[in-house]
Amino acid sequence: MQNTDNGRITKLDGLRGLLSLIVALNHSFLVVAIPAYANVWGQNYLVFTNLQAKLQQLFMLIGNGGAAVTLFFILSGMVLGQSMRRLEFSLTGFLSFFLKRLFRLYPVYIVVILVTAIYMRMGFRYQVFLYASPWYLWWMNFSMTFKEFLNNFFFIHTYLGGVTWTLRVILIASFIMPVFYQMSRKTGRLTNLIFSLLLIFASFTVFNLNGFRDLRYLYMFYLGLIIPKFKSLFTDIPGWLINLLVFIGLLLLLMIRYISDEYFGGLVESIISWFIIGIIVYNGKIKIFGFLDQKIFLFFGKISYSLYLVHFTVLYILARLMFSWLPNLPYSGSYLPLHMALFVLSLFIATLVSLFVHHYIEIPSLRAGNIVSRKILNK
C-alpha cells in the first residue's frame, strides 16, 4: 500500500484536492456564451477554428467536471467501505453510521443553501444577460420561498448550486452502502464483478427513471467498494504496463464525456477511475501519481468538501456582478481570458470562504458526529 500519514493515504487527499479544482475550473469556463457554438469543447479535436476556441477546448478537457464527479463517487465508495470495516452491524450500529454521515455531509450544505437563500431574498431579481451562457442562465430562475428552501433542504429540488445534485446521490448511496458492504464481504471477486455488471445494466434500464437519475450512479459506489478485493491485481501489474495504461486511460478520461453521452461516458470513466484509484492505493512502486503529494493538492484536499460546495455560489455571484457592472466587456471576442479571470478570482474568494467554513463548520460537525456516534454505541 502507498505511504500513509497516520494510516491515511495522503495521495487520496491530494486527489480530492485536484478533483475539487477540476470541478471549479469546469464551472468557471461555462459562464460566458461562446459565439457560433456553445459547446466548443465538444467540437472535433482535429478541427482548428481559431486559437481562442482551441485553447478554450483544451481547458474544458482538463476541467472535465463529469470525470471528476465519477472519480469522487468511486472514491467515496471505497472510503465508505473501509469505514464499514469498523461498523457494528446492529440497529445502533447502523444508526450511528447514518448519523455520522449526516453530520459529515449536511452542515456545510446547510450553510451554502442558507447563504444562497438570504442572497436571493435581499433584492435579488433574476435577469437574462445577453452574453451569459444557457448553463449560467438556467440557475436561480425561481422564487426563493420558504417552501422552495425546504425543497432544497430535503433534496427534493437541487436548484441552489451546480454540484448539490451529487450530494443527494451520495446521501442515497450512503444509506444503501451497508447492504452493498455485506454483499461484497461475503462473496468472491467473480460474484462482485457480476453484481457490478448487474448494477451497470440496471443504470441503463430500471434505474433510468424520468426526472430522477440518482440511482444510475450506484454502480460507481459499488465499484469503489470492491477495490480492496483486487489488491493483488493492482500490486502485481508491471510498472511499464501501468504507465502505458495510465497514459491511455487519462486521455480517455479527459475526452470520453465529450465524444459520447453522459451515461456511457460515465461508464468508461468509472472503469478507468477504478484502475487509477486501485493503483494509487496499492501500487507504491508507481511514481506517476507522486505529484498528488504536493502541498498545493494536499491543501485543497483538506478543504475539498467545503470548496466543492462553496465555489458555485461564489462563481455565480461574481459572474452576475460582471455581467451587471461591466456590460461592455468584449464577451464575444475574449471569452477565454474572461473565463480564466473568473476561475482565478472565484477560486481565490471561494478558497478563503472554504477555509472559514472548513474550520468553523466542517471540523466541529465532524467532531459532533463522532461524539453522537460514541454515545449511541455507549463507547
Mean pLDDT of the 121-136 span: 92
Quick one: pLDDT at residue 242?
A: 81
Question: Distance (Å, rounded) from C-alpha 168 to C-alpha 172?
Answer: 6
> 228-283 pLDDT, tens per residue?
999 999 988 887 788 888 888 888 888 887 777 889 999 999 999 999 999 999 98
> 318-355 pLDDT, tens per residue?
999 999 999 999 999 999 999 999 999 999 999 999 99
pLDDT: which is higher, 365 or 159 = 365
Quick one: pLDDT at residue 18?
A: 96
pTM for this one? 0.93
Question: Distance (Å, rounded) from C-alpha 317 to C-alpha 259?
Answer: 31
Mean predicted lDDT score pLDDT of the chain: 90
Mean pLDDT of the 282-295 span: 86
Quick one: pLDDT at residue 40?
A: 65
Question: Does residue 39 carry a pLDDT above 70?
Answer: no
Question: Distance (Å, rounded) from C-alpha 86 to C-alpha 180?
Answer: 15
pLDDT: which is higher, 245 or 308 = 308
Question: Distance (Å, rounded) from C-alpha 95 to C-alpha 100?
Answer: 9
Quick one: pLDDT at residue 94?
A: 87
Question: Distance (Å, rounded) from C-alpha 217 to C-alpha 58?
Answer: 27
Quick one: pLDDT at residue 9?
A: 81
Quick one: pLDDT at residue 153?
A: 93
Quick one: pLDDT at residue 74?
A: 97
Quick one: pLDDT at residue 262?
A: 85
Three-state DSSP at 8 gives: strand
Cβ burial of 366 (10 Å; 0-12, 13-18, 19+) is: middle
Question: Does residue 2 carry a pLDDT above 60?
Answer: no
Quick one: pLDDT at residue 58?
A: 87
Q: What is the DSSP string of 286-337?
A: --TTGGGGSHHHHHHHHTHHHHHHHHHHHHHHHHHHHHHH-TTS-TTT-HHH
Quick one: pLDDT at residue 147?
A: 94
Mean pLDDT of the 289-301 span: 94
> 191-206 pLDDT, tens per residue?
999 999 999 999 999 9
Quick one: pLDDT at residue 248?
A: 87
Quick one: pLDDT at residue 317?
A: 95
Extents of the domains making up the chain: 4-376
Q: Residue 268 half-sphere exposure, CB side, CA atoms within 13 Å?
A: 18
The answer to whether 32 and 335 are in contact (CB under 8 A) is yes
Confidence of residue 1 (pLDDT cuts 50, 70, 90): low
> 20-34 pLDDT, tens per residue?
999 999 999 999 998
Instruction: Find the range with the poorest average confidence among 5-9, 44-48, 61-65, 228-232.
Output: 5-9
Question: Does residue 41 carry a pLDDT above 80?
Answer: no
Mean pLDDT of the 80-100 span: 86
Question: Does residue 379 carry a pLDDT above 90?
Answer: no
Residues 78-101, buried b or exposed e (16+ Cβ, 10 A)?
A: bebbbebeebeeeeebeebbbbbb
Quick one: pLDDT at residue 91?
A: 84
pLDDT: which is higher, 284 or 373 = 373
Question: Distance (Å, rounded) from C-alpha 264 to C-alpha 266?
Answer: 5
Quick one: pLDDT at residue 137?
A: 93
pLDDT: which is higher, 248 or 286 = 248
Quick one: pLDDT at residue 7?
A: 52
pLDDT above 90 as % of the chain? 66
Grid coordinates standing for 183? 454483499
Question: Distance (Å, rounded) from C-alpha 32 to C-alpha 130?
Answer: 9
Task: Report the length, in residues, of the chain.
Answer: 379
Confidence of residue 211 (pLDDT cuts 50, 70, 90): confident
Grid coordinates standing for 302? 483538506
Residue showing cell 437519475: 213
Q: Is 123 left (phi over 0), alpha (psi -120 to 50) or beta?
A: left
Q: Which residues pair with 132 in a beta bridge?
A: 32
Residues 262-282, buried b or exposed e (16+ Cβ, 10 A)?
A: eeebbbbbbbbbbbbbbbbbb
